[in-house]
Structure 1
Amino acid sequence: MENNNHDHDHNHDHDCECGCHEHDTVKLTLEDDSEIECEVIGTFDLNEKNYIALLPVDDEDVLIYNFEDLDGELQLNTIEDEAEFEEVSAAFFELFDGVEEDEDEEYDEEDIEEDEE
């Protein structure tokens, strides 16, 4: 798998009709210049690295990236090492499983995929 760095725009999405939920979203620009909008599920640290979990708006598969803050801009990096990805996925489930239950969404391990785009 090759390293995929993605540029993105950060904005706030207010799709909820009731006005009581606020979701951060990012737009990922992929290598083929296509864009996907993703809801930010959350960020977490593991083994002195930062990770971000994203849920594409029109998909149920969670994307997890390593990220770095470069002068106020996020740089997303694909997790290339399989053992690291498994450890990060387990940490994601421990931290976020059930967080979205209020919105009738729950994430299963098969919903996590390595981004190979």
Structure 2
Amino acid sequence: MAENYVNMMDQSLIVTLTLDDDTEQKCLALCRFDVDGATYIALLPFGPDGLQNPDGDVYFYGFHEENGQPVLESILSDEIYGQVSDAFDQWLDMMEAEGET
């Protein structure tokens, strides 16, 4: 299902999302991975105190680059979202098995 996992946690890459209500949400990029030929990214939102969100929520977005700039796209299909979520769970299992989580 998923392949080409890229662990991004060691890069400490912070992404700022603008949400539907025009508020900003800072997130830590966890990993980038492919599912069925498309690339996705998993983002861990920070809580209101600036620390990682204690709820463990993770945001998934489609990911590609245009003119060298990253572009995030919402996942509109429940089926694809489920596949992406499953692939992320596989990555978490791999990280746990390697002792990296």
Q: TM over 0.5: same fold?
A: yes
| Structure 2 residue matching 1:84: 3-state secondary structure | helix
Matched residue, 2:43: 54
Deviation readout 1:6-33 (Å, 9 max, x if unpaired): xxxxxxxxxxxxxxx6511111112332
Whether 2:77 is the aligned partner of 1:81: answer yes
Matched residue, 1:32: 21
CA distance in 1, matches of 2:94, 2:35: 20
Q: Higher relative contact order at CA 8 Å, sep ≥6: structure 1 or structure 2? A: 1
| Structure 2 residue matching 1:97: 3-state secondary structure | helix
Deviation readout 1:15-73 (Å, 9 max, x if unpaired): xxxxxx65111111123321111001110011110100000011220001111211111
CA distance in 2, matches of 1:97, 1:41: 14
Matched residue, 2:59: 63
> After alignment, is 48-57 or 25-34 more displaced?
25-34
Count residues in correspondence.
83
TM-score (norm 1): 0.62
State the shift of 1:96 in Å: 2.4
**Unaligned regions of 5+ residues in structure 1, if any?**
1-20, 104-117
TM-score (norm 2): 0.71
Matched residue, 1:44: 33
2:12 to 23, 35, 42: 23
CA distance in 1, matches of 2:39, 2:27: 18
